[in-house]
């Protein structure tokens, strides 16, 4: 099977069928072994009736005990060997399917990483989730065709040949009858592809809506829109269910015909053989063998129909994977070098100017306005933003990513020991990790976990509280120690005491480095060297926190609930970050 660190190869993304064929070519030896095991296994199933007919004709009918014992022993040996072949076939095909599964997961994950921030604009979250939880399994299952599928074709040919030695009439019926069955079932396979494609697309849309609903549930409740979204979700669910019924209807017909038609067809073959035996054209042993061949022939015919069903679904799933793999990240033709030394970041759209080496805060009545500025300064959105006088989109993206880091308060956390979660992909000592955790006021997290830095954190930090997750994310950003750090609401989930501690330690940890924070907390704003107050996405006022409190009523209403400065110049509510955040909400 594919190794976790092995290159999965370059997939063929020209279509669903080509992608499936690529998966076969990536493990040719294993697929060939599965085909051989499957073929020999099915052929030996057909050998059983032949051996029984010989035992009847050569031993039982003439009364030759020695011949009967010999053919019986051969029958036992073939059965035992075939049982071993069955085990090997199943084991080999399981490995084929697992390799296809893991290889597909690797190429999909690699593609999502390659697309990076552009993924959300190129493919919906529901599409990616549907591929991960459904399509991968369907693709892996469709590779069953290379084992039992090939074996079914070989066994079908062998049984037809054996029947030809008994009666050309029987052989002709078999050779002509099975293709007729496939012609009956074939159109259903095409129809299934269409139904399955529609179902998968609608499933992706609904999955995306579930994610959006879960992420914005609190906002929807506050706006009173939860009922409207719930009604829309019910309508989409109903449509998906109806589409699922259509897929199920086609599937049930395929499975019913796959099980019923071979039985009816083979019953006809048995009736013809019985008539031939009654007329003396074939022996009793040959009649027994024909009955056995007919019984065995049910397997390859059923496998062929089943493989058609699996291939139909597999092509649909592979087509979706191939479509994702064909996506390309935005071309980066930028060749300019980043400034050689810390320089001013400027966003002309909002008027935000970030001086190097200082702690700058952005606050806005609409948090989305501040977030948009961060996206432009981090080059995650098209803009005319400049760095040291050079447009950001003219500077090589690799240099921008290396020196400017955007720390989102909802950034993903991967499962693993806390040390690795904080360090990310960097080689860091325990001392460096501990220093970053201390700067993010996250010492208590380490102390509260049973194994300290070795304690395993679940995916997305679900084993931690909301505030703990936020501090771990901040610690990860601080450990990276970028030249420019753009942090989005780094303290929004913290209580006032912890928020004040984080603000003090963050300022100290980033001393001399360029740091931009989006926040509406007076505790954090009071520690900033400069605050930009945004109204409708534009800078309405710039200055220190206390100066803005005194001079800007809109700013004061936003961050301190219209409170006046006290005798020390501090604002009422400056110790209550939660209240300030409520004012923003």
Task: Name 297's bridge partners.
Answer: none
Q: Please give the structure tokens belonging to residue 41.
A: 């296994």
pLDDT for the residue 503? 93
Measure the CA–CA gap between 362 and 539, rounded to whole angstroms: 9
User: Average pLDDT, stretch 558-583?
Assistant: 45
Burial 483-494 (b: 16+ CB within 10 A, else e): bbbbbbbbbbbb
Burial class (CB in 10 A: 0-12, 13-18, 19+), 70: middle
Q: Please give the structure tokens belonging to residue 434.
A: 């501990």
pLDDT for the residue 334? 80
Closest CA to 489 of 511, 474, 509: 474
pTM of the complete model: 0.61
Closest CA to 317 of 196, 233, 427: 196
pLDDT at 367 > cutoff 70: yes
pLDDT category at 22 given cuts 50, 70, 90 is very high
Task: Name 533's bridge partners.
Answer: 363, 541
Measure the CA–CA gap between 133 and 142, rounded to whole angstroms: 16
Contact 201, 323 (CB under 8 A): no
Closest CA to 520 of 385, 376, 362: 362
Name the 3-class secondary structure at 131: helix
Other Cβ atoms less than 10 A from the Cβ of 271: the count is 10
pLDDT for the residue 328? 83
Residue whose pair of structure tokens reads 């019913």 in the numeric block: 256
User: Average pLDDT, stretch 125-146?
Assistant: 77
pLDDT at 555 > cutoff 90: yes
Burial 74-113 (b: 16+ CB within 10 A, else e): ebeebeeebeebeebbbebbeebbebbbbbbbbbbeebbe
Residue whose pair of structure tokens reads 């509510």 in the numeric block: 573
pLDDT category at 377 given cuts 50, 70, 90 is very high
215/513: higher pLDDT: 513
Task: Name 364's bridge partners.
Answer: 534
Q: Which pLDDT tens digit goes with each residue over 186-219? A: 666 666 656 666 666 666 666 656 655 555 544 4
Measure the CA–CA gap between 576 and 559, rounded to whole angstroms: 10
User: Average pLDDT, stretch 331-354?
Assistant: 90
Burial class (CB in 10 A: 0-12, 13-18, 19+), 328: exposed
pLDDT at 143 > cutoff 50: yes
Of the ranges 57-61, 290-294, 459-463, 533-537, which is most confident? 533-537
pLDDT category at 250 given cuts 50, 70, 90 is confident
User: Average pLDDT, stretch 392-409?
Assistant: 91
pLDDT at 227 > cutoff 70: no
Q: Please give the structure tokens belonging to residue 539.
A: 């800078």
User: Average pLDDT, stretch 544-563?
Assistant: 84
Radius of gyration of the chain (CA): 35
pLDDT at 436 > cutoff 90: yes
Closest CA to 293 of 176, 172, 160, 167: 160
pLDDT for the residue 568? 43
Q: Which pLDDT tens digit goes with each residue over 65-107? A: 888 888 888 888 988 998 999 899 999 999 999 999 999 989 9
pLDDT for the residue 213? 55
User: Average pLDDT, stretch 53-72?
Assistant: 79
Measure the CA–CA gap between 11 and 511, rounded to whole angstroms: 47
210/536: higher pLDDT: 536
Residue whose pair of structure tokens reads 């084929």 in the numeric block: 96
pLDDT category at 581 given cuts 50, 70, 90 is very low
Name the 3-class secondary structure at 199: helix
Q: In this predicted structure, which of 101-105, 130-134, 373-377, 439-443 has the lowest mean pLDDT?
A: 130-134
Q: In this predicted structure, which of 17-26, 57-66, 97-106, 569-578 has the lowest mean pLDDT?
A: 569-578
The alpha carbon torsion through 438, 444, 448, 451 (nearest 10 deg) reads 10
Tell how strand 404-407 and strand 538-543 pair up. unpaired
Q: Please give the structure tokens belonging to residue 78.
A: 């073939």
Those residues with Cβ within 8 angstroms of residue 122's Cβ, 6 or more apart along the chain or in another chain? 115, 327
What phi and psi values does residue 258 have, to the nearest 5 degrees? -65, -35
User: Average pLDDT, stretch 244-256?
Assistant: 73
User: Average pLDDT, stretch 234-251?
Assistant: 76
**329: DSSP letter:** P
Across all residues in the chain, what is the average pLDDT?
81
Measure the CA–CA gap between 338 and 398, rounded to whole angstroms: 10
CA angle (171 as vertex; 166, 176 as ends), nearest 5? 170
User: Average pLDDT, stretch 474-486?
Assistant: 94
pLDDT at 401 > cutoff 80: yes
Q: Which pLDDT tens digit goes with each residue over 441-450? A: 999 999 888 8
Instruction: Give just the sign of the alpha carbon dihedral 51, 56, 62, 68.
Output: positive
Residue whose pair of structure tokens reads 């009967």 in the numeric block: 68
């Amino acid at each position: 099977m594919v190794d976790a660190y092995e290159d999965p190869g370059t997939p063929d993304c020209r279509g669903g069928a080509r992608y499936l064929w690529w998966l076969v070519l990536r493990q040719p030896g294993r697929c060939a072994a599965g085909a051989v095991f499957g073929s020999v296994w099915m052929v030996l199933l057909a050998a059983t009736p032949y051996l029984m007919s010989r035992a009847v004709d050569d031993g039982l009918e003439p009364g030759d005990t020695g011949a009967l014992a010999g053919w019986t022993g051969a029958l036992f040996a073939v059965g035992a060997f075939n049982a071993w072949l069955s085990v090997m076939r199943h084991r080999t095909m399981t490995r084929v399917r697992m390799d296809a599964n893991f290889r597909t997961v690797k190429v999909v994950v690699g593609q999502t990483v390659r697309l990076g921030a552009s993924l959300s604009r190129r493919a919906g979250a529901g599409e990616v989730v549907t591929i991960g939880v459904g399509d991968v399994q369907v693709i892996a299952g469709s590779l069953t065709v290379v084992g039992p599928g090939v074996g079914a074709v070989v066994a079908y040919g062998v049984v037809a040949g054996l029947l030809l030695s008994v009666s050309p009439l029987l052989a002709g019926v078999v050779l002509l009858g099975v293709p007729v069955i496939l012609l009956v079932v074939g159109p259903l396979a095409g129809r299934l592809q269409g139904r399955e494609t529609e179902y998968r697309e609608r499933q992706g849309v609904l999955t995306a809506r579930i994610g959006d609903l879960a992420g914005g549930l609190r906002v929807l409740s506050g706006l009173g829109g939860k009922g409207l979204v719930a009604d829309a979700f019910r309508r989409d669910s109903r449509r998906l269910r109806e589409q699922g019924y259509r897929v199920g209807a086609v599937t049930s017909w395929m499975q019913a015909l796959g099980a019923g038609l071979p039985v009816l067809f083979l019953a006809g073959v048995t009736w013809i053989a019985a008539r031939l035996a009654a007329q003396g054209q074939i022996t009793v042993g040959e009649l027994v063998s024909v009955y056995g061949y007919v019984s065995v022939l049910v397997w390859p015919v059923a496998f062929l129909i089943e493989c058609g069903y699996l291939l139909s679904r597999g092509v649909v799933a592979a087509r979706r994977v191939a479509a994702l793999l064909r996506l390309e990240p935005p071309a980066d033709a930028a060749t300019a070098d980043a400034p050689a030394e810390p320089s001013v970041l400027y966003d002309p759209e909002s008027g935000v100017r970030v001086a190097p080496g200082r702690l700058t805060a952005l606050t806005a009545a609409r948090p989305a306005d501040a977030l948009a500025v961060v996206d432009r300064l981090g080059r995650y959105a098209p803009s005319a933003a400049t760095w040291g006088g050079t447009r950001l989109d003219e500077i090589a993206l690799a240099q921008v990513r290396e020196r400017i880091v955007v720390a989102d308060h909802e950034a993903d956390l991967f499962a693993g020991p806390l040390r690795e979660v904080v360090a990310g992909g960097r080689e860091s000592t325990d001392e460096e990790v501990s220093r970053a955790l201390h700067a993010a006021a996250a010492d208590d997290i380490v102390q509260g976990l049973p194994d300290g830095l070795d304690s395993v954190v679940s995916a997305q930090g679900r084993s931690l509280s909301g505030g703990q997750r936020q501090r771990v994310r901040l610690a990860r950003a601080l450990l990276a120690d970028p030249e420019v750090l753009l942090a989005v609401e780094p303290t929004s989930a913290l209580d006032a005491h912890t928020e004040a501690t984080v603000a003090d330690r963050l300022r100290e940890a980033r001393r001399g480095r360029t740091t931009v924070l989006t926040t509406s907390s007076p505790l954090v704003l009071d520690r900033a060297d400069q605050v930009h107050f945004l109204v409708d996405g534009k800078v309405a006022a710039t200055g220190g926190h206390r100066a803005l409190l005194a001079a800007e009523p809109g700013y004061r209403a936003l961050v301190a609930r219209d409170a006046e400065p006290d005798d020390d110049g501090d604002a009422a509510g400056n110790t209550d970050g939660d209240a300030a955040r409520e004012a923003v909400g």
